[in-house]
Amino acid sequence: MDDPTPTPPASTPSSAPSPASPPPSAPAPPARPSLSGDEWRKVAGQIISIVVILAVALVILCVWNIIERHPRTDDAIAEANVIGVAPRVHGQIIKLNVQDNEDVKEGDVLFEIDPADFQLALDNANAALASLDQQIEVARSADEALKFQVEAAAAEEKQAVSELKQDNDNLQRLLPLLPKGFATANDVDKAQTAVDVDTAAVAARRQNSNQAKVALSSLATLQAQRAGTVAAVNLAALELSYCKVTAPFPGKVVNLNISIGEYANVGVPVFALLDTRKWYVIANFREGELRHMTNGSLVDVYLMSAPSHHFTGKVQGIGWAVESADEINTEPVVPVVPRELNWVHIAQRFPVRIEIENPDPELFRNGASAVAIIK
């Protein structure tokens, strides 16, 4: 019996070979979570904060650089020169021509002192000069006669001296002859008497000559005295002119607290006069800032009383000496700039004198607060 031929199993769709499938792909990245509105605002706020901090730091750096290179201070005051108006003569004030805070011009009469005593002194000096001039005229008219007397007295003195020499020589010749009998004692006595008479005559003539010279020299003495008398007249006239006290420059009257009748003393100020021709600002800068300025440096100046007005100035000088207020035992001779804190070491301040180039007389006041900025 023949073996049955094996029959292959029936193929099914599922058992059929499948075509090659692609390799598996890489895993997909996780989806990025989306930010909510609050989270976005938070991130934006952080970014803005960082930008603001950097901007503030940059601004601070710029401001520091500006302040470092262009120092400024509000520790400054406006000043002008002030003098005390003091008379050069003493007396009672009979006229007062100004009032406190009044503007005056150069040469204006501020007040007058009673001139009666000084006018009397001038009259006496003039009278003394007139008397001296009269004496000089009299002496000058007698000068020629006095000169003749001097010449005559000198001639007589010379003649007397010659006679004395002659008689003295005769006596000296007779004295050696007396012991030998060639001359008698009477001859010697006569010669001695002649010498004595001549000696007295020389003395008398010399006295007359001296008197004549003294009389002649009186004219020169009077003429020498005249210069002193003229000086006394000029001094009296000058003191009389001092009775009118005038303004030495245009300015403002300050601190006038007197009335007519006040007694004025020499050198004692009656009131003060503010010189408005030139204004300064005394600004106290820290010692570390002085290196940024020199004489002639330009400065911007503002007054506290008029901050909208801009003034310009130049550094006239930088202080070289100050004295601490804690060390002052006597009257200081250098500017005093007190420190603000005694328990902390702080920078010393030095005064810088700034000359204002365009001052406004209506705005500037002595002692007004100011701000100074070095350009």
Q: Determine the average pLDDT of the residues in 251-278.
A: 95
**What is the CATH number assigned to the segment(s) 115-242?**
1.20.58
User: Where along the chain do the CATH 1.20.58 domains lie?
Assistant: 115-242
pLDDT in tens, 206-219: 777 777 666 666 77
The overall average pLDDT reported for the chain is 82
Topology classification of domain 71-81+275-374 = Elongation Factor Tu (Ef-tu); domain 3 (2.40.30)
| pLDDT top residue among 2 and 119 | 119
State pLDDT tens for residues 13-38. Answer: 444 444 445 555 555 555 555 556 67
pLDDT of residue 345: 64
Mean pLDDT of the 236-256 span: 96
Query: Do 53 and 240 form a contact (C-beta atoms < 8 A)?
Result: no
Predicted local distance difference test score (pLDDT) of residue 169: 78
CATH 2.40.30.170, the chain: domain bounds: 71-81+275-374
Mean pLDDT of 299-318: 94
What number is the average pLDDT over the span 324-330? 57
